[in-house]
Amino acid sequence: MEEVKQPNIVQEAPHFDVEKERKRQKVGKILKNVFVYTFLTFCAILAFLPFYWMIISSLKTEAEYRQPKLTLFPETIMWKNYEVVLTQASTSGASFAQLLVNTLLVGGVSTILGVVITILTAYALARMNFHGKNLLFTIMLGTMMIPGEMYTLTNYITATQLNWRDTYTILIVPFLVSVYYTYLLRNNFMQIPNSLYQSAKVDGLSDMGYLVKVMVPLTAPTLISITLLKFIGSWNSYIWPQLINNQRWQMITNWVTKGFNDNKGLLGPASSEPLTTLKMAAVCMVSLPLFILFIFCRKYIMRGVSKSGTKG
Amino acid sequence: MANPENKNFFAKIGEKCKALWESFLALFKKKEAQEVAAETQSGEVFVGKELTAKEKFLRFLKAEQGWLFVTPALILLAVFTFYPIVNAFIRAFQENYNPLSPTKYTGIGFENFVRVLKGDTGTGGATFLQCLVNTTIFTFVSVPLSTLLALLISVALNSIKALQKAYQTILFLPYLTNSLAMGAVFATFFTIVGTKNSTDTVGLVNIALGWFGIEPIDWMKGGKGFVWTIGQIRIPWTKYVVVIVYEIWSGLPFKILILFSALQSVNKQYYDAAKIDGASKSKTLWKITTPLIMPMISYLLITGIMGGMKQYTSIVGLFGEQMGIDYDMGTMVGYIYRYISNGQMGYAFAGSLLLFVIIMIFTVINLQASKKKVTY
């Protein structure tokens, strides 16, 4: 049998300088940290840059924005850009206030109703036994494979035939049921031990009572996440309102796709040329509420996103 | 003036109703209590005396109570999801479908698909094939790149202690944005303002490239010399770069969030073992960390590709509602919406069915590919 040569560790040991090795490791660790923090800082700057750019651009004068020399902070702060954008309808014709009211109304109603329906459905699928439950659940999950555009088409025809175009109803009703959130909540409900259900029953609680008094409080974090994500989804909805409603009945996001000009001459000579600074002011106003929401509900939003993985 | 007799009458009715309701409730409660008792009594099945029809009905109601809970969702799903899916499969095969005309359609066949695929729809602008190429390139460049970048960032994030939360939060910020609003911001990065006027800004990206001595490029226009042509397909690569940069930026936060939490759940013992065996840092990353979080990576790739094939709003944000010049940056979803808007529903239905098939194909390929590797 061939002899396997072992590396001679023992012999090397006396030459091993502990102090030197420790120092080497320390330097290596510092170098690594410098590298990692530089990389992360660079990425963080890139992640934040568009927001910074959007804010400073919205506060610049158009002349400053257009000059070849880059300024990282506006020379004169133009709050007036916001005034112009707010007082003047964009080229789309609808005002910010109108669209904000639309968005809050539609977002609020569809979020509340949507969450109630999600809770009821998820509870039935998780806790109740009825014939055809598994079939229903399978079909519901199956629809998640199908791109939403396929239903948008028919819904467009349905809405036209029902005479629901240019109403709030059509913005709310088709999107009340979210199969994914139902699935998410059902899984959450399933995690609650069955013994709780049994003892609640013995105490004479009905299914509805059990749902409201036990299940909902226990799954509150998930419910908050779903509520927030649903509302953010409404805030960001663009395609459907654009397709189905005229400007008066659209949502806040539809507002920023249009150009903004100073045709009343509030900033200088009147012209119908689209101005970038005004557009950035509009973009800021649409983005800012989401940031405020994020600051207050960071935990729930991040948890919800990591669980659901859908945008709105 | 109150009529005492009337009042009496209503009170009587009220009492009757109340009594009826109470007896109903009592029956219901009794039934429930019995059932619970039966269930809890060492699993013995409750065998009562012969049930009356009323009791049978109540028992049936009780058993199928779940349907009551799902009814609202079911009605909405039926009208706005199930029916539309079936409808799409039917309408796609009806030629010249028009919901407003009395005859609705002129024939049945594959005409819609043939015309969509040939680009022979009688409407100018990007063909379906062009849209397919656009969408596929955007997706298959941006999704792997952003996943790789997200992996590196999350590994870096996982290796630090100080300021971890702060970095995590900042890196997550782009997730919460409105893709139309941020698309507009990204467009300004690449836009040269004005027309060949030397006093105008060339946009942030060109300014940055200028530091390395690169001449300004009109990214958003993609004029002559910046377009590759393959047969009928035009690839204005400068515009592609704009889309891909934006897609990577907006795709990163979600991927970082997922991969970071996956990394945090990796058992630390693996790293200790690797350290003892003398594995280098990069070897640890590629041979231990990556395989361990492979399920999450493949999940991100699948969802990223499925989402990417359906992208639409980011392009509108960047290039406006015309999706570039005459829809040349159009995506498949954009194609469908264009044909809804101009009333050629048949082509829209055919396009949506094709989109469905394409997404299915990619999903199946992805699942097959990830099945082999994901065995942890």
**Minimum mean pLDDT among A18-22, A212-216, A264-268, B81-85: which range?**
A264-268
The pLDDT-based confidence of A108 (bands split at 50, 70, 90) is very high
Judge whether residue A117 has pLDDT over 50.
yes
The domains located in chain B, with CATH, are 52-91 (no CATH), 127-373 (1.10.3720.10)
Name the residue with tokens 């952003």. B146
Q: Choose among A158, A279, A290: nearest Cβ to B178.
A: A290
Residue A121 pLDDT level (bands cut at 50, 70, 90): very high
Residue of chain A minimizing CA distance to B300: A309
Instruction: Give me the DSSP letters along A16-39.
Output: --HHHHHHHHHHHHHHHHHHHHHH
Chain A contact for B25, CB < 8 A?
no
Tell whether A248 is covered by a domain. yes
Query: Cβ atoms within 10 A of the Cβ of B6, count?
Result: 9
| Res. A310: pLDDT tops 50 | no
In this complex, do A239 and B312 lie within 8 Å of one another by their Cβ atoms? yes
Please give the residue that has the higher pLDDT: either B6 or B307: B307
Contact state of B188 with A177 under an 8 Å Cβ cutoff: no
Alpha-carbon distance of A287 to A292, in angstroms, equals 9
Which residue has better confidence, B179 or A264?
B179
Q: What percent of chain B has pLDDT over 70?
A: 83
Give a yes or no: residue A44 inside a domain.
no
Q: 103-142 in B: which are within 8 Å (CB) of A?
A: none
> For residue B353, what pLDDT band results from cuts at 50, 70 and 90?
very high
| Nearest one of A280, A3, A30, A186 to B187, comparing CA atoms | A280
pLDDT at A13: 54
Residue B198 above 60 pLDDT? no
Give the pLDDT score at A295: 84
Q: Is B352 an 8 Å CB contact of chain A?
A: yes
Q: Which residue of B has its CA nearest to A38?
A: B156
Give the integer Cα–Cα distance in Å for B177 and B62.
Answer: 46
CB contact under 8 A, B188 and A280: yes
Which residue in chain A is spatially nearest to B72 when comparing CA positions? A117
- pLDDT score of B47: 52
Considering the domain boundaries, does residue A211 fall inside one? yes
CA distances in angstroms from B289 to B117, B154, B251, B274, listed in the order given: 44, 11, 22, 11
**Residue A306 placed within a domain:** no
Within 253-272 of B, beta carbons closer than 8 Å to A belong to 253-254, 257-258, 261
With beta carbons less than 8 A apart as the criterion, state whether B246 and B186 touch.
Answer: yes
What is the rounded distance in angstroms from the CA atom of residue A255 to the CA atom of residue A94?
8
Number of domains in chain A: 1
Q: Can you tell me the ipTM of this complex?
A: 0.84
Q: Tens of pLDDT along B127-163?
A: 889 999 999 999 999 999 999 999 999 999 988 888 8
Strands B94-95, B107-108: parallel, antiparallel or unpaired by DSSP?
A: antiparallel
Whether the Cβ atoms of residue B37 and residue B29 lie closer than 8 Å to each other = no
pLDDT of residue B131: 92
Q: How many CB atoms lie within 10 A of CB B29?
A: 12
CB-based contact B313 A238, cutoff 8 Å: yes
Measure in Å the smallest separation between the Cα of A298 and chain B Cα atoms: 8
Q: Is the pLDDT of residue B27 over 90?
A: no
A20: Cα separation from own chain's centroid: 51
A1/chain B closest Cα distance in angstroms:
27
Residue B190 has pLDDT above 90, yes or no: no
DSSP structural state of residue B296: H
* Boundaries of domain holding A246: 92-257
Contact assignment for A256 to B180 by CB distance below 8 Å: yes
For residue A305, list chain B residues with Cβ-Cβ distance below 8 A: 175, 254, 257
CB contact under 8 A, A201 and B352: no
Assign A171 a pLDDT band (cuts: 50, 70, 90). very high
**Which has more confidence, B251 or B42?**
B251
Mean pLDDT of B190-208: 73
C-alpha torsion angle, residues B303, B306, B309, B315 (rounded to 10):
-40
What is the distance in angstroms between the Cα of B76 and the nearest Cα belonging to chain A?
7
pLDDT band per the 50, 70, 90 thresholds, residue B270: confident
Residue listed under structure tokens 């991100």: B300
Bigger pLDDT: B174 vs B223 = B174
Sort out which chain A residues have CB atoms less than 8 A from B359's CB and list them: 145, 147
Asked if the Cβ–Cβ distance from A39 to B156 is below 8 Å, we say: yes
Question: Do residues A87 and A98 make contact, with C-beta atoms less than 8 angstroms apart?
Answer: no
Asked if the Cβ–Cβ distance from B340 to A243 is below 8 Å, we say yes
Mean pLDDT value of segment A66-90: 80
pLDDT of the residue at A291: 86
CATH number where A206 lies: 1.10.3720.10
Question: Quick check: A147 and B352 CB within 8 A?
Answer: yes
Question: Which residues of chain B from 181 to 210 reach within 8 Å of chain A, CB to CB?
Answer: 181-182, 184-186, 188-189, 191, 193-194, 198-202, 204, 207
Structural domain contains residue A6: no
| Interchain CB contacts (distance < 8 Å): A and B | 250
Beta carbons of B29 and A204 less than 8 Å apart: yes
Nearest residue in chain B measured CA to CA from A54: B185
pLDDT at B375: 45
Chain B residues whose CB is inside 8 A of the A179 CB are 77
Cross-chain residue pair B355–A236, CB shorter than 8 Å: no
Mean pLDDT over residues B337-364, rounded? Answer: 88
Mean pLDDT for all residues in chain B:
81
DSSP 3-state percent helix, strand, coil across chain B (nearest 5): 70, 5, 30
Give yes or no for residue B73 having a pLDDT over 90.
yes
Report if residue A305 sits inside a domain.
no
CA A83 to chain centre: 28
DSSP SS3 for B142? helix
Sorted by sequence, the CB contacts under 8 Å of residue B255 that are 6+ apart come out as: B146, B147, B150, B300, B304
What is the least distance, in Å, from the CA of B235 to any CA of chain A?
Answer: 25
Q: What percent of chain B has pLDDT over 90?
A: 21
Of B239 and B49, more confident:
B239
Assigned domain for A151 exists: yes
Distance from CA of B129 to the nearest CA of A (A): 18
Is the Cβ of B81 closer than 8 Å to some Cβ of chain A? yes
- A37 inside domain: no
pLDDT reading at A131 higher than 80: yes
Interface touch B85/A150, C-beta < 8 Å = yes
Q: Comparing A105-119, A254-268, B185-199, B291-305, which segment has the lowest mean pLDDT?
A: B185-199
The fraction of chain A above a pLDDT of 90, given in percent, is 23
pLDDT bin (cut points 50, 70, 90) of residue B42 is very low
Q: Which of A91-95, A136-140, B111-115, B317-321 shows the lowest per-residue confidence on average (mean pLDDT)?
A: A91-95
Residue A284's closest chain B neighbor by CA?
B181
Minimum distance, in Å, between the CA of residue A5 and any CA atom of chain B: 18
Mutate to test the interface with B, among A46, A54, A153 (most CBs of B within 10 A): A153
pLDDT mean over A74-94 = 77
pLDDT at B372: 62
Does B252 sit within 8 Å of A47, measured CB to CB? Answer: yes
Cβ contacts of A150 within 8 Å, gap of 6 or more:
B84, B85, B88, B352, B353, B355, B356
Contact predicate B63/A129, CB 8 Å: yes
Average pLDDT rounded to a whole number, residues A232-237: 89
Q: Which pLDDT band, with edges at 50, 70 and 90, does B21 fall under?
A: low
Contact criterion met (CB < 8 Å) for A290 and B156: no
DSSP annotation of A3 reads P
Is the predicted pLDDT of residue B9 greater than 60, yes or no? no
Q: Which of A104, A100, A77, A78 is nearest to A89 (CA)?
A: A100
